[in-house]
Structure 1
Amino acid sequence: MTAGFGLERLGLWSLRHTRVMAVLAVILTLLSGWAASKLEFQSNIREIFKSNAADYAVLEDMIAHFPATEHDVIAVVEGDLFRPDTLEDLRTLHLELVLLDDVDAVTSVFSAYRPPNENGDLAALIPADLSPLDEAGFDHLRRDLLAHPLVTDKLLAKDGRLALFVVSLAPGVTALEAVRAKVDEIRGLGTETLTGTGATVRYTGMPQIRLTIVDALQRDQKIFRIVGFFIGIFLTWLFFRRLSYVIVVAVPVLTAIVWQLGAMWLLGQSVNIITAVVPTLVMVLSFSDGLHMMFAAARNRENGMSVRDAVEASVIDVGPAAALTSLTTTLALLSLAVVPHPYIAGFGLAGAIGATIAFFGVIFLFPLLAVAVLNRVDGTTAAFEHGWIGHLSVRLSRQAAAISIGHPGTVTVVAAVLTAICAGLYLANPTYYDYRSNLPVKSDALIGVSRIDATLAGSGTMAVYLTMPEGQDALAPESLSLIAEAQKVLAADPMIGTTWSLQDVVDWYESGQRPTGSAAAFLAENREHLARRVIGADGRSALVTGYFPNSDAAALLPVIERLENGLDTLRAAHPDATIRLTGFDLVAARASTAMIRQLNYSLIGAVVVIILLIGVALRSRAATLLSILPNVLPIAFGGAFLYLSDFGLQFTSVIAFTISFGIAVDSTIHMFNRHRLMRAETSDPIMALSRTVTTLGPVLIISTVVLVLGLGTTVTSLLPNVRLYGYVSVLVLMAAFFANILLLPALLTLHARWRMRREQSR
């Protein structure tokens, strides 16, 4: 059995059955292309933290009872708002929004009413006729609005220059295109109504966030695939200087991408923030395997072999290493599939299938295309040696061999010290998550959130979700008392800027001329409207919401602990009621911390299993031990970068470590495989090692450049999380290249010298 467990024989089968393989490939590609056209985009950031955890179940239950929180489009209007003409235009906007189809409610400063008079009549805070108001009158109106519990710190900034219009879409408007159509309609009204007022308007809220993420993903997909693919083609041509070689390498790459996208649809997956990089991953893996195969075939042609014999020999020599590298990358990605979060597990599965497809695409199609295309062209010279990139890569490989083999002890000590320092910095990284990192920096959605954080109580929310005892209505006096106590717990925390609950409605109503206790009838009459925000449709549940400036997970965890401690006292006093702290920010803070810890465990597991697998496949305990340092160093280096750049450990970066490790270990395997072949040609282990580095070095250089630039396209993403993935991947792959071209040969040299001394002493 070979190091590739015999999987390279698939390439030999393809070589012997070219017509059958060609027909199968065409059929599979057409079917996959059809399936790929049906792939959808996933934009709900709540899905990132979906799990079987109790926190997520509570959040889902709360959203089911209070769905408005998921369907709010928030228009953030800024400017000199307290001018007669501007206020009139804003009133018009409010009324026009109310009249839109599929809009359940609109909440703004025009929703604010004065407390009732003695007859229970209500009057709007902003009068219908603004003409009698002078500058002092408008200033007084602004102060009245800021004193209103619905408005203060929620809908109007203290300086009166920013106001929110909260447009609640009907719960049935969930399909992405329906959401887009409705948001576009809202945007159109805003533009039409406010043009000429000097006011600016931006849109945020969950529906707008969904659209922003999908638009960014669609843009990224085009750039990653097109730019990455043409970078790979250009570098392949630059290295080989033959169009025929480029065709042989590129066609399996393109085919594998189509197969992978079709497989995603077949498995019921969608394109989201992290699965968006899977096609790019398949592309660079296919390019890497294809380059190794093509390099070996070109060398064989240079040695005088026929095209068929050269291709067959390349499959036999390089195929086992390609199979093993595919297996190690697949295992690294499968380690993510055991994380108890469907979002991450789904990505791990998609990536593992993609890595497998990348191998099958090359092992089946490379022999077929190589024989078909190369038989039609003349020449046996290794063209890469005559171009400047060929000369440069050969020269660099020889220098690397001279350094690593000439000074193995120094290289090893420096690498070990560097690994220790970087590992310490990796472990010092704090965990970090902020949902804003899912949004483009210059997007309306993010700017709107940032303006709310800067001028109002904040865009973050934490809610106390109350369910009254069986048979007790949420409007009962006992319920109102419990709601008031829960609100005090929230309001007492210094992180919470302001709160909102049914108690605020009671306080507002009874601050007028109606007698104390008269609010109950008003609440009963307006139950349906209140059910949108503070009372559940079941009649027994109530929501107390606290607002705070958006913060990362590390800052929120102490807040959550303080609030839970405060609510424990309330739970003890009201054992029959169900009192739960919830909200997306809470779930994200707790889940992201746990997720990063689980991802670190899966990364450690992947490293251990894959390094052991290398030893098993190569039947060498030495290979296992010698693989450790060259593959731990790149991960530690990436962790040090995160620490020094203040990114911290995010789930995206740990995923990038896992993927990059799975790819980086490929170079280790190819180095061992080439060393095995060279050892068969010479009895001098040092000479064999020198030939290994100088022969394999050029293709390692060009394949690393393809990997770095291919995955490097992700740094052009509009989404910060995807960009971070790109930064980490590029750094880890570059560090892995130097570890495999310098450190691994140094370790092999030390091991060879130790074995020679041991044999001489016998």
Structure 2
Amino acid sequence: MFRTFNRCSTWLVDHPAIVTILILILSGIALLGYTVPEQIRDWFKPAPVVEKQSNPSKLKLIRQAPPDVDPISLTDAHTILVVDSDEFFTTEGIKALRAIVEKIESLDYVRSVFWLDDVPNLNIFGLREPIVPNERASEKRLMAAKEKAIAHPLVGGQLLSEDGRTLLLMVKFDWFYVDDDEDCTTGLKQVAQQVAEEYPDVNFSFMTTGHIPTYLTAIRTHNANKVKYQVIGYGMILLMAVILFRGISAVIIVALAPMFGVFLTMGVIQFFDFQNNPFNDVVLPVLLSLVGFTDGVHLMVQIRRHRAAGLSGRDAARRGVQEVGLACALTSLTTAIGFGSLSLAHHETVREFGYSCVIGVILTFVAVITVIPLACRTWLGRSIHVGHNKGIIDRHLGRISVVIDLVLTRTKLISSLGIGITVVLILISSTLRPDERRANMLPEGSEAALALNHMDKALGGLEHSRIQVTWNDNVESDSPEVLIAISKIDDLLQQEPLIGHPISIRNILGALPGEGDPEERMSMLDLLPPPLKRAFYTPEQHRADVSFHVQDLGIARYGPTFTRIEEGLTAINAEHPDFQFSLTGSAVWRWRNLYQIVVDLATSLGSAAIIIFIVLAFAFQSLRLGLISIIPNMFPLAVTGTYLVFTGQALEVVSVCAFTVCLGIAVDDTIHFLTRFREEQLNVENDHEAIHRAFTGVGTALIMTTIVLVAGFSTVVFSDMRDQRIFAIMSGLTISSALFGDLVFLPALLAQYAKRSQVPAIQEPEQAPIQPVEGSLVSE
């Protein structure tokens, strides 16, 4: 393997013209991705399949279709305008509300506004009794109207909070007239505020929420962070590189490779339509920059060393590629495996991120192995050795060498500690439990996040779920048993403190005057307005719904609640065998799939770890070295998992991504150390001396890349997006602890368990003859 790779890599160094052509071809492909990705994707789309139309006469209609009635919906709104005030049911408050609604409805892009005045009449005699009375009503009449509104099943806890201080305006848009995203959020709020200012005696405050404001807030923040943190991250990387290298030419060359890799990746992934993934736009470029910069640093450290020793640019590049090129290839392979394991996840965003990372790592490695040697042969490479041995790490590495001396004198103790601590931390990390909150996708302090929290407190949550009730043909749709079953479900939900304001036909019938048995109450359904009757009841389909609110407390909090509800539904089903009860809705779906986060993490980490172990054992031709590498690679992940446990964090989708990405990055240092150790074992007789020389040989690059990686990820810690902060903190902590594991635990494990008899006769890398360079110490 060494010999084959050396020949291929040195061939690239010896043929700069071919490498230049390859770079231009790759650049052209990426440019197509930036300019015409849709046309390229269309080339690979299969021809549409023309389906044969079925004969309508042969279709069997199971049940009669419901009549053409538009039922009332308490959830079907593009944007919800949340109004807070203590003065809704005052003369001036009613005037202001009606003026606000009238002004909003007059906007050309607003299709409708559903609010208290639009709630259907529950008077069975058809007499109009408005929920919001005339503004000329007396104070006593206004207070009575407030109490009646809160008691109304479609108002209290649905459109008006139980304390009467929070009111909802459900707005739907005509998208043909929407010119700006701001019209759907701040535009509405500004219109409402302008109208409210005309009524100085009332104090209204406004917020917007709903799926449109939430989506726009996430996208707006994502786009802002995409540019902001890439610029900051790249700037931090270059700054740290200048400080560490103490030579501008070397920094420029090293920076060119990851820049080219990111350019290629962001163009190519557009062929697969992955560019709108939130992780791809913000995290992926910084991540690939750091991965490419890491390999570039290892390569540049060796090339600078040989240039300072007197080799020409060509020979220094050849020698550098021979010495660390295979290690860079292995790190890229294992990193791609780590990232690629994300493709096994069930979450589409995570899968796309995994695919994009694999593409990016491959293209970034190609960029490193081609751009850096090529640039070293140009005028840029003439002075790359300037500043060699003057960097901060180079000058102080001798002091750090005390660490390796201490480790090698206590190998048994330190190796045992490494194994023991890793096992303990893994056990602690195993106590992590999955969870998910919708607010995590929003920047903290944003109006959308604040409104979501306010809806939890005022109305029991913004999100709705439901219990779907169906019955077979043995039960008539107007049978009293329907109402009996629904009443039992309603009683079941009322017992749960986390379930907010259940509503069904039971609540609506209960608001009608009079009392009676279910037989009498069911007959009153025909007296209700069709839009109200069919909001929760569709007799033609033998179906009814019981809807309820869910708070954004973390879906794991609802696990026991949903479990008890399902157990209760099973008991009710035993009493009503002709019925079927189904707990459904977005919150229920997220709860059912919550365990999948753990499965995805176990699948991703497990498959990646096994494949990486096999690759390392094969590459180093030693099963023992493959086993030894497990500890320094699992230790940083266990440290990060323990940090999440002690800080009260949950296992989330972003954690799955971070853990898997960190495994791919953490193994890089291990590979570089092991590669150098195997090479030194061929040159010296003593294993301790081989470990010491490997430490001093790669220590500079390991410490330098760790500092750069941590500095790069630290820039994202200041993001206002929680997921991005968690990703950055986990990455920085993992990479830092990986350095400790590779410089402390790995040498001890090698000294204790890597036997000399395990070293095969590997072909030593071909050495280029030293040719003095004009102005070097050798030529002098």
TM-score band (shorter)? 0.7 to 0.9
- The answer on 1:125 being equivalent to 2:131 is yes
Verify the 8 A CA contact 1:66 1:536 in the aligned structure 2.
no
Query: Structure 1 stretches of 5 or more lacking a match?
Result: 40-63, 757-762
Q: Go from structure 1 to structure 2 and tell me whether the alpha carbon gap of 1:387 and 1:328 turns closer, same or farther (over 3 Å shift).
A: closer
What is the distance in 2 between the residues matched to 1:473 and 1:193?
A: 51
Partner of 1:301: 307
- The answer on 1:749 being equivalent to 2:751 is yes
What is the distance in 2 between the residues matched to 1:323 and 1:98?
A: 62
> Which moves more between the two structures, 320-329 or 418-427?
418-427
Partner of 2:778: none
Partner of 1:157: 161
Cα distance, 1:35 vs. partner?
Answer: 5.9
Cα distance, 1:30 vs. partner?
Answer: 2.8
Partner of 1:237: 242
Cα distance, 1:299 vs. partner?
Answer: 0.8
Amino acid across the alignment from 1:557: G
Q: Go from structure 1 to structure 2 and tell me whether the alpha carbon gap of 1:217 and 1:373 turns closer, same or farther (over 3 Å shift).
A: farther
Cα distance, 1:423 vs. partner?
Answer: 1.5
What is the distance in 1 between the residues matched to 2:334 and 2:13?
A: 22
Cα distance, 1:664 vs. partner?
Answer: 0.5
Output one character per residue of 1:345-384: Cα deviation in whole Å (capped at 9) or x when no partner: 2222122222222212211222222222434x34645x14
Q: Go from structure 1 to structure 2 and tell me whether the alpha carbon gap of 1:30 and 1:177 turns closer, same or farther (over 3 Å shift).
A: farther
What is the distance in 1 between the residues matched to 2:3 and 2:631?
A: 21
Verify the 8 A CA contact 2:597 2:651 in the aligned structure 1.
no
Instruction: Give 1:400's match in structure 2, choosing from 400, 403, 426.
Output: 403
Instruction: Give 2:334's match in structure 1, choosing from 328, 333, 353.
Output: 328
Partner of 2:566: 564
Partner of 1:604: 606
Verify the 8 A CA contact 1:675 1:692 in the aligned structure 2.
yes
Instruction: Give 1:90's match in structure 2, choosing from 85, 93, 97.
Output: 97
Cα distance, 1:640 vs. partner?
Answer: 0.8
Partner of 1:183: 185
Output one character per residue of 1:171-222: Cα deviation in whole Å (capped at 9) or x when no partner: x78x998765433542332232234543221111111111111112112211
Amino acid across the alignment from 1:553: I
Q: What secondary structure sits across from 1:31 in the alignment?
A: helix
Verify the 8 A CA contact 2:13 2:317 in the aligned structure 1.
no
**Alignment map for 1:11-50 (pairs within 5 Å):** 11-12=12-13, 15=16, 17-34=18-35
Verify the 8 A CA contact 2:436 2:554 in the aligned structure 1.
yes
Q: Go from structure 1 to structure 2 and tell me whether the alpha carbon gap of 1:655 and 1:473 turns closer, same or farther (over 3 Å shift).
A: farther
Cα distance, 1:585 vs. partner?
Answer: 1.2
Partner of 2:293: 287
Verify the 8 A CA contact 1:8 1:323 in the aligned structure 2.
no
Instruction: Give 1:223's match in structure 2, choosing from 222, 228, 252.
Output: 228
Q: What secondary structure sits across from 1:215 in the alignment?
A: helix
Q: What secondary structure sits across from 2:436 in the alignment?
A: coil
Output one character per residue of 1:398-454: Cα deviation in whole Å (capped at 9) or x when no partner: 233223223323322332332232122111222222222222211111111111212
What is the distance in 2 between the residues matched to 1:237 and 1:38?
A: 42
TM-score by length of 2: 0.84
Instruction: Give 1:352's match in structure 2, choosing from 351, 355, 358.
Output: 358
Partner of 1:661: 663
Q: How many residues are aligned here? A: 720
**Alignment map for 1:448-527 (pairs within 5 Å):** 448-467=451-470, 469=472, 482-510=485-513, 519-523=524-528, 525-527=529-531
Q: Go from structure 1 to structure 2 and tell me whether the alpha carbon gap of 1:475 and 1:166 turns closer, same or farther (over 3 Å shift).
A: farther
Q: Go from structure 1 to structure 2 and tell me whether the alpha carbon gap of 1:177 and 1:469 turns closer, same or farther (over 3 Å shift).
A: farther
Partner of 2:555: 553
Q: What secondary structure sits across from 2:346 in the alignment?
A: coil
Q: Go from structure 1 to structure 2 and tell me whether the alpha carbon gap of 1:201 and 1:708 turns closer, same or farther (over 3 Å shift).
A: same
Cα distance, 1:125 vs. partner?
Answer: 1.7
Verify the 8 A CA contact 2:308 2:388 in the aligned structure 1.
no
Verify the 8 A CA contact 1:416 1:629 in the aligned structure 2.
yes
Cα distance, 1:11 vs. partner?
Answer: 4.3
Output one character per residue of 1:203-242: Cα deviation in whole Å (capped at 9) or x when no partner: 1111111111111211221123111111111112112222
Q: Go from structure 1 to structure 2 and tell me whether the alpha carbon gap of 1:615 and 1:141 turns closer, same or farther (over 3 Å shift).
A: same
Query: Structure 2 stretches of 5 or more lacking a match?
Result: 41-69, 759-780
Q: Go from structure 1 to structure 2 and tell me whether the alpha carbon gap of 1:518 and 1:144 turns closer, same or farther (over 3 Å shift).
A: same
Q: What secondary structure sits across from 1:121 in the alignment?
A: coil
Verify the 8 A CA contact 1:304 1:380 in the aligned structure 2.
no
Instruction: Give 1:385's match in structure 2, choosing from 359, 373, 389.
Output: 389
Q: Go from structure 1 to structure 2 and tell me whether the alpha carbon gap of 1:723 and 1:566 turns closer, same or farther (over 3 Å shift).
A: same
- Structure possessing the higher radius of gyration over alpha carbons: 2
What is the distance in 1 between the residues matched to 2:570 and 2:433?
A: 29
Q: Go from structure 1 to structure 2 and tell me whether the alpha carbon gap of 1:494 and 1:80 turns closer, same or farther (over 3 Å shift).
A: closer
**Alignment map for 1:432-443 (pairs within 5 Å):** 432-443=435-446
Verify the 8 A CA contact 2:34 2:270 in the aligned structure 1.
no
Verify the 8 A CA contact 1:72 1:167 in the aligned structure 2.
yes
Q: Go from structure 1 to structure 2 and tell me whether the alpha carbon gap of 1:416 and 1:278 turns closer, same or farther (over 3 Å shift).
A: same
What is the distance in 2 between the residues matched to 1:75 and 1:537?
A: 33
Cα distance, 1:516 vs. partner?
Answer: 5.9
Verify the 8 A CA contact 2:12 2:370 in the aligned structure 1.
yes
Q: What secondary structure sits across from 1:546 in the alignment?
A: strand
What is the distance in 2 between the residues matched to 1:211 and 1:727?
A: 26
Verify the 8 A CA contact 1:75 1:164 in the aligned structure 2.
yes
Q: Go from structure 1 to structure 2 and tell me whether the alpha carbon gap of 1:512 and 1:714 turns closer, same or farther (over 3 Å shift).
A: farther
Partner of 1:651: 653
Q: What secondary structure sits across from 1:497 in the alignment?
A: strand
> Which moves more between the two structures, 332-341 or 70-79?
70-79
Q: Go from structure 1 to structure 2 and tell me whether the alpha carbon gap of 1:620 and 1:698 turns closer, same or farther (over 3 Å shift).
A: same
Verify the 8 A CA contact 2:31 2:267 in the aligned structure 1.
no
Cα distance, 1:10 vs. partner?
Answer: 7.5
Q: What secondary structure sits across from 1:582 in the alignment?
A: strand
What is the distance in 2 between the residues matched to 1:749 and 1:437?
A: 46
What is the distance in 2 between the residues matched to 1:536 and 1:692?
A: 75
Cα distance, 1:13 vs. partner?
Answer: 6.8
> Which moves more between the two structures, 5-14 or 24-33?
5-14
Verify the 8 A CA contact 1:397 1:694 in the aligned structure 2.
no
Cα distance, 1:148 vs. partner?
Answer: 1.6
Q: Go from structure 1 to structure 2 and tell me whether the alpha carbon gap of 1:293 and 1:176 turns closer, same or farther (over 3 Å shift).
A: farther
- Percent identity among equivalent residues? 25
Q: Go from structure 1 to structure 2 and tell me whether the alpha carbon gap of 1:37 and 1:727 turns closer, same or farther (over 3 Å shift).
A: farther
What is the distance in 2 between the residues matched to 1:642 and 1:427?
A: 11
What is the distance in 2 between the residues matched to 1:373 and 1:541?
A: 78
Partner of 1:593: 595
Output one character per residue of 1:19-59: Cα deviation in whole Å (capped at 9) or x when no partner: 323432442343344368999xxxxxxxxxxxxxxxxxxxx
What is the distance in 1 between the residues matched to 2:214 and 2:747?
A: 50
Amino acid across the alignment from 2:29: L
Cα distance, 1:522 vs. partner?
Answer: 4.3
Cα distance, 1:607 vs. partner?
Answer: 1.3
Q: Go from structure 1 to structure 2 and tell me whether the alpha carbon gap of 1:696 and 1:65 turns closer, same or farther (over 3 Å shift).
A: farther
> Which moves more between the two structures, 533-542 or 331-340?
533-542
Q: Go from structure 1 to structure 2 and tell me whether the alpha carbon gap of 1:543 and 1:453 turns closer, same or farther (over 3 Å shift).
A: same
What is the distance in 2 between the residues matched to 1:495 and 1:582?
A: 16
Amino acid across the alignment from 1:256: G
Partner of 2:323: 317
Amino acid across the alignment from 1:412: S
Output one character per residue of 1:494-551: Cα deviation in whole Å (capped at 9) or x when no partner: 43231112333333344699x966743444x533x666x5357986544311124333
Amino acid across the alignment from 2:623: R
Amino acid across the alignment from 2:418: A
Partner of 1:145: 149
> Which moves more between the two structures, 64-73 or 155-164?
64-73
Q: What secondary structure sits across from 2:405 in the alignment?
A: helix
Instruction: Give 1:543's match in structure 2, choosing from 535, 542, 545.
Output: 545
Q: What secondary structure sits across from 1:218 in the alignment?
A: helix
Q: Go from structure 1 to structure 2 and tell me whether the alpha carbon gap of 1:370 and 1:138 turns closer, same or farther (over 3 Å shift).
A: farther
Q: What secondary structure sits across from 2:169 in the alignment?
A: strand
